Homo-oligomer: A and B are copies of this chain.
Amino acid sequence: MYTTKGVVGYDLTRLLIGSEGTLAVITEATLKLTPLPEARRLMQAVYTNVGQAAAAISRIMAQPATPCALEFMDAAAIEMIRSYSQADLPHGAGALLMIEVDGPKSALDDLATAIHTAATDSGLIHFHEARTKEESDALWATRKALSPALRTIAPNKLNEDVVVPVSRLPELIAGLEGLSREFGIPIVNFGHAGNGNIHVNLLYDSQDPQQEANARPCLRQVFDLVIRLGGTLSGEHGIGREKRDYIALAIDPPTLDLMRRIKAQFDPKGILNPDKIFPPAT
């Protein structure tokens, strides 16, 4: 299809996207490009707890100055940033948001004001606007260094990208803190707050018998928690082999069977990534 619109027959393009190579081999793709915005501005908002940050996320997403990025970090992630950067972050912080807006240069002041207004409540203990591109780049570098920096805490990690409705974010983070204590596994959380898509990192040492024994049972409880909160197992990473044994938590048996039957129409011989997404038939 070479048009940006089309409703002739079923939307097979969307069915193939995210199918992890189980339905077809894509040999050619025509992409629609979006023009780069004229300017951007990055803000940081720090809250005493996750509940206040989650309420701010909801307010930010409900007003028209929609951010182009809205990143969340929990207390453990904030402490990590403090330990390896010069970031001037207040102590006692329970949650940090990075909020970026883009648009015409003339609009940025108003967009930033709208974000500041939506972000403000009694729990906001720090709000900062990056004033130069260098400062903004430095803040993003801090965020992007988080994932590799996890390796300095523990030799092994289980990194999942669960999703919950934004309103359930406080329960997710509180639940994860409980599981971390219960299983003795540090859990660091950050991710894409506007979608409730959080990277949950279970940090452990496979040479420690107790941690090695606890890591996967803890992960199973993480997934149970996510499902209880109306969420799902993955927002962008997919299922692959790692999560196929958990997919039945998120998808009921008739729907899973329907998906298997759809795969059989595309791939009657079962040769396209046969081990991915679906657990082996029992």
User: B-contacting residues of A (Cβ < 8 Å)?
Assistant: 1-12, 14-15, 17-19, 23, 34-38, 62-66, 103-107, 109-111, 114, 163-165, 192, 195-197, 230-239, 247, 250-251, 255-256, 258-259, 261-263, 265-266, 277
**In the complex, are the beta carbons of B64 and A4 less than 8 A apart?**
no
Query: What are 17 A-B interface contacts by the 8 Å CB criterion?
Result: A3-B196, A3-B232, A5-B235, A7-B18, A7-B237, A8-B232, A9-B250, A9-B251, A10-B23, A10-B262, A14-B14, A14-B15, A34-B66, A35-B62, A35-B63, A106-B107, A106-B109
Residues in B neighbouring A236, C-beta threshold 8 A: 5, 7
Contact A3 B234 (CB under 8 A): no
Smallest CB–CB gap between A4 and chain B, Å? Answer: 5
Q: A163 to B5: give the CA distance in the assembly, Å.
A: 7
Contacts of A18 in B (CB 8 A): 7, 10-11
* Chain B, residue nearest A39 (CB): B64
- Docked Cα-Cα span, A106 to B8, in Å, equals 41
Asked if B259 and A104 sit within 8 Å, CB to CB, the answer is no
Q: Which residues of B contact A163 (CB under 8 A)?
A: 3-6
By beta carbon, the residue of chain B nearest A264 is B265
- With A8-B250, A10-B18, A107-B110 already in contact, 18 other A-B pairs whose C-beta atoms are closer than 8 Å: A3-B163, A3-B165, A3-B197, A3-B232, A5-B236, A7-B237, A8-B232, A8-B239, A9-B247, A9-B256, A11-B15, A12-B255, A14-B15, A15-B15, A36-B64, A104-B107, A106-B107, A107-B107
The answer for the CA separation of A192 and B3 in the assembled complex, in Å, is: 12
| Shortest distance between the CB of A57 and any CB in chain B (Å) | 12
Q: How far is the CB of A228 from chain B (nearest CB, A)?
A: 12
Residues in B with CB closer than 8 Å to A235 are: 3, 5-7
Chain B residue with the shortest CB-CB distance to A22 = B10
CB-defined contacts of A104 to chain B, threshold 8 Å? 64-65, 103, 107, 110-111, 114
Contact across chains for A265 and B255 when beta carbons are under 8 A apart:
no
Which chain B residue lies CB-closest to A19? B10
Determine the distance from Cα of A14 to Cα of B17 in the docked complex, in whole angstroms: 10
Q: Could you tell me if A195 and B4 are in contact, using CB atoms closer than 8 angstroms?
A: yes
Give the Cβ gap from A199 to chain B, nearest Cβ, in Å.
Answer: 13
Chain B nearest CB from A128 CB (Å) reads 21
Kindly state the separation between the CA atoms of A266 and B254 in the bound complex, as whole angstroms.
11
**Out of B14, B66, B111, which one reaches A11, CB within 8 Å?**
B14
In this complex, which of A7, A110, A192, A256 has the most chain B Cβ atoms within 10 angstroms of its Cβ? A7
* A239 and chain B: residue at smallest CB distance: B8
| Complex CA distance for A9 and B18, rounded to whole angstroms | 8
Contacts of A3 in B (CB 8 A): 163-165, 195-197, 230-232, 235
